[in-house]
Structure 1
Amino acid sequence: MDQFSALKAFCRVVEAGSFSAAAAEINVSHTVMSKQVRQLESQLGAQLLNRTTRRLALTEAGQTYYERARRILDELQDADLAVSRHHAIPRGTLRINAPMAFGTLDMGRWLPAFMARYPELKVDLVCNDRFVDLIEEGFDVAVRLARELPDSSLVARRLTTTATMLVASPAYLERRGAPACPEDLVRHNCLTYTLVPKPHEWTLTSPQGERTTVTVRGSFQANTGIALRSAALAGAGIATSASFIVHADLVRGDLVPVLPDYRLAPRDIYAVYPHNRHLSPKVRAFVDFASEVYRSAEWS
Structure 2
Amino acid sequence: MDRLAELETFVHVADAGGIGAAADRLGVAKSAVSRRLKDLEERLGVRLVNRTTRQLSLTDTGRAYYERAVQLLADLEEADQQAAMVHGALTGRLKVAAPLSFGLMHLAPAVRQFLADNPALWIDLDLNDRRVDLVDEGFDVAVRIGQLEDSSLIARRLAVVRNVCCASPDYLARHGRPQRPEDLASGHVALRYTNVPERRAFTWVDAEGRERSVSVPARLASNNGEMLVDAAEAGLGIILQPTFLAYRSIEAGRLVPVLTDVAWREVAAYALYPPGRHLSAKVRAFVDHLGRCFGDPPYWDACLRTAAARA
TM-score calculated relative to the size of structure 1: 0.71
Structure 1 segment 187-206 matched on structure 2, within 5 A: 187-198=187-198, 201-205=201-205
The correspondence for 1:80, drawn from 66, 76, 82, is 76
Q: Residue by residue, what CA displacement relative to the aligned partner does 1:153-193 show, whole Å, maximum 9, x if unpaired?
A: 11101111011111111111112221122122122110111
Q: Residue by residue, what CA displacement relative to the aligned partner does 1:47-71 show, whole Å, maximum 9, x if unpaired?
A: xxxxxxxxxxxxxxxxxxxxxxxxx
Looking at structure 2, the residues matched to 268 and 208 of structure 1 have their Cα atoms a distance apart, in angstroms, of: 23
Q: Residue by residue, what CA displacement relative to the aligned partner does 1:60-102 show, whole Å, maximum 9, x if unpaired?
A: xxxxxxxxxxxxxx99985533234516442222111111111
Asked if the contact 2:189–2:217 (Cα under 8 Å) also holds between the matched residues in 1, the reply is yes
Looking at structure 2, the residues matched to 93 and 285 of structure 1 have their Cα atoms a distance apart, in angstroms, of: 13
**Taking structure 1 as reference, are residues 42 and 276 closer, same or farther at Cα in structure 2, changes over 3 Å only?**
closer
Looking at structure 2, the residues matched to 219 and 78 of structure 1 have their Cα atoms a distance apart, in angstroms, of: 51
Asked if the contact 2:193–2:201 (Cα under 8 Å) also holds between the matched residues in 1, the reply is no
Determine if the alignment matches structure 1 residue 256 to structure 2 residue 256: yes
Looking at structure 2, the residues matched to 279 and 268 of structure 1 have their Cα atoms a distance apart, in angstroms, of: 21
- Which amino acid letter does the alignment assign opposite residue 140 of structure 2? D
Superposition deviation, residue 255 in structure 1:
0.6
Asked if the contact 2:199–2:213 (Cα under 8 Å) also holds between the matched residues in 1, the reply is no
Looking at structure 1, the residues matched to 276 and 116 of structure 2 have their Cα atoms a distance apart, in angstroms, of: 26
In structure 1, the partner of 2:178 is 179
Superposition deviation, residue 232 in structure 1:
0.8
- Which amino acid letter does the alignment assign opposite residue 163 of structure 1? R
Looking at structure 2, the residues matched to 163 and 138 of structure 1 have their Cα atoms a distance apart, in angstroms, of: 31
In structure 2, the partner of 1:150 is 149
Looking at structure 1, the residues matched to 102 and 156 of structure 2 have their Cα atoms a distance apart, in angstroms, of: 17
Looking at structure 2, the residues matched to 158 and 112 of structure 1 have their Cα atoms a distance apart, in angstroms, of: 21
Asked if the contact 1:165–1:263 (Cα under 8 Å) also holds between the matched residues in 2, the reply is no
Superposition deviation, residue 213 in structure 1:
1.9
Q: Residue by residue, what CA displacement relative to the aligned partner does 1:132-155 show, whole Å, maximum 9, x if unpaired?
A: 1101111110011113x2221111
Asked if the contact 1:146–1:267 (Cα under 8 Å) also holds between the matched residues in 2, the reply is yes
- Which amino acid letter does the alignment assign opposite residue 289 of structure 2? F
Determine if the alignment matches structure 1 residue 291 to structure 2 residue 291: yes
- Secondary structure, counterpart of 1:96 in structure 2: strand
Determine if the alignment matches structure 1 residue 113 to structure 2 residue 113: yes
In structure 2, the partner of 1:25 is none
Asked if the contact 1:142–1:273 (Cα under 8 Å) also holds between the matched residues in 2, the reply is yes
- Secondary structure, counterpart of 2:132 in structure 1: coil
Asked if the contact 1:188–1:218 (Cα under 8 Å) also holds between the matched residues in 2, the reply is no
**Taking structure 1 as reference, are residues 75 and 105 closer, same or farther at Cα in structure 2, changes over 3 Å only?**
farther
Tell me how many residue pairs correspond in the alignment: 241
- Any stretches of 5+ residues in structure 2 without a counterpart? 9-26, 35-69, 302-311
TM-score calculated relative to the size of structure 2: 0.68
Q: Residue by residue, what CA displacement relative to the aligned partner does 1:232-262 show, whole Å, maximum 9, x if unpaired?
A: 1111100111011111211110111121221
Structure 1 segment 157-168 matched on structure 2, within 5 A: 157-168=156-167
Asked if the contact 2:74–2:277 (Cα under 8 Å) also holds between the matched residues in 1, the reply is no
- Which 4+ runs in 1 deviate beyond 6 A? 41-45, 74-77
Superposition deviation, residue 198 in structure 1:
3.1
Structure 1 segment 209-220 matched on structure 2, within 5 A: 212-220=212-220
Looking at structure 2, the residues matched to 93 and 183 of structure 1 have their Cα atoms a distance apart, in angstroms, of: 50
- Secondary structure, counterpart of 2:97 in structure 1: strand
Q: When you count helix as a share of all residues, which structure comes out higher?
A: 2
- Secondary structure, counterpart of 1:97 in structure 2: strand
Superposition deviation, residue 288 in structure 1:
1.1
- Any stretches of 5+ residues in structure 1 without a counterpart? 8-36, 46-73
- Secondary structure, counterpart of 1:272 in structure 2: strand
Superposition deviation, residue 209 in structure 1:
5.6
Superposition deviation, residue 230 in structure 1:
1.2
- Which amino acid letter does the alignment assign opposite residue 79 of structure 2? V
Looking at structure 1, the residues matched to 170 and 214 of structure 2 have their Cα atoms a distance apart, in angstroms, of: 24
Superposition deviation, residue 41 in structure 1:
7.3
Superposition deviation, residue 276 in structure 1:
3.8
Q: CA RMSD in A?
A: 3.1
Looking at structure 2, the residues matched to 199 and 230 of structure 1 have their Cα atoms a distance apart, in angstroms, of: 23
**Taking structure 1 as reference, are residues 109 and 96 closer, same or farther at Cα in structure 2, changes over 3 Å only?**
same
Looking at structure 1, the residues matched to 176 and 72 of structure 2 have their Cα atoms a distance apart, in angstroms, of: 61
